[in-house]
A = this chain, B = another copy of it.
Amino acid sequence: MDDVTADRYERGRTRFLDVHDEKALAAVEGLGDLGRAIVEFAYGDVYTRQGLSIRDREIAAVAALVASGRSSQIPQHLRASLKAGLTPEELGEIILQTATIAGFPPAMNAMSTLRTVLAEREGA
C-alpha cells in the first residue's frame, strides 16, 4: 500500500469504527482484498460523504438488506442503527414498512433478528 491508498484506507477504517465496532472490523478485514475494498469504498468513500446522516444511511441499509434478502449483514446493521440513534421502535417500523414492498417473509426474519440483537444488548 502506498501512502495515498493508506490514507484512504485509514479514513474508511475510522468511519467503519464510528458506524460499527472493532469486532465487525476484524470480520471484514479477515476477507482480504474484498475486505479492503469494503473499508476503502463503502466506508472511506461513501459513508464519509456529506449530505446524509449515518442515522439515515442506516435506515437505507436496513431496508435494502431486508428487501434484497441479504440476511447475513442484518445483525451488523441493526447494531449500527442502534449506535446511530435509531430506537428499537423505529427499527420495528422500518421492518414493517419494508414488508409492504418486499413481502412478509423477509420482514419476519428481520424482526426475529432485531429481537436477538436487542436481547444481546441487554445481556451485555
Please tell me if the beta carbons of A37 and B33 are within 8 angstroms of each other in the complex: no
Oligomeric state, in number of copies?
6
With A and B bound together, what is the CA distance between A8 and B90 in angstroms? 23
**Which residues of the partner chain B approach A52 to less than 8 Å between Cβ atoms?**
90, 93-94, 97
**Which residues of the partner chain B approach A78 to less than 8 Å between Cβ atoms?**
none
Interface size range of chain A in the complex: 35 or more
With A and B bound together, what is the CA distance between A86 and B71 in angstroms? 27
Please tell me if the beta carbons of B99 and A34 are within 8 angstroms of each other in the complex: yes
A interface, CB within 8 angstroms of B: 4, 28, 31-35, 37-38, 40-42, 45-46, 49, 51-52, 56-57, 59-70, 72-73, 89-90, 92-109, 111-112
